[in-house]
Amino acid sequence: MKHAFFASKALLKITAAGIFSIGILLTTSSTFAQTVNQEKAYQPGYYRLPVGDFEVIALSDGTVPQNFHQLLTNVKPGEIDRLLKLNYQSDPVELSVNGYLIKKGNELILVDAGTAEAYGPTLGHLIESLRRAGYQPEQISAVLITHIHIDHTGGLMDKGKLAFPNATIYISKPEVDFWLTAESKRKAPENLKNYFVQAEATVGPYLKAGKVKIFEYGKQVLPGILPLASPGHTPGHTFFSLESKGEKLLFWGDIMHAAAVQFADPAVTIVYDVNPSAAAAQRKKAFQDAAQKGYLVAADHLSYPGIGRIRAEDNSYVWVPANYSTYTAAQ
DSSP lists the bridge partners of residue 93 as 66
The total number of residues shown for the chain amounts to 331
The pLDDT of residue 324 is 84
Structural domain contains residue 4: no
Structural domain contains residue 200: yes
pLDDT for residue 252 is more than 50: yes
Alpha carbons 106 and 219: distance in angstroms, whole number: 23
Structural domain contains residue 43: no
Structural domain contains residue 262: yes
pLDDT for residue 327 is more than 90: no
pTM above 0.95, yes or no: no
CATH code (residue 238) = 3.60.15.10
Alpha carbons 190 and 174: distance in angstroms, whole number: 22
pLDDT for residue 32 is more than 60: no
Positive/negative CA dihedral, 101, 65, 321, 281: negative
Positive/negative CA dihedral, 294, 170, 156, 331: positive
How high does pLDDT run on average in the chain?
A: 88
Full domain range(s) for residue 291: 11-32+51-321
Give the tens place of pLDDT for each residue, 9-30: 444 444 433 333 444 444 443 4
Lowest mean pLDDT segment, chosen from 89-98, 136-145, 184-193, 238-247: 184-193
Structural domain contains residue 117: yes
- Residue 194: which pLDDT band, with cuts at 50, 70 and 90? confident
Structural domain contains residue 6: no
How many domains does the chain fold into? 1
The pLDDT of residue 185 is 86
Structural domain contains residue 39: no
User: What's the half-sphere exposure (Cβ side, CA atoms, 13 Å) at 288?
Assistant: 9
What DSSP character marks residue 167? P
Structural domain contains residue 331: no
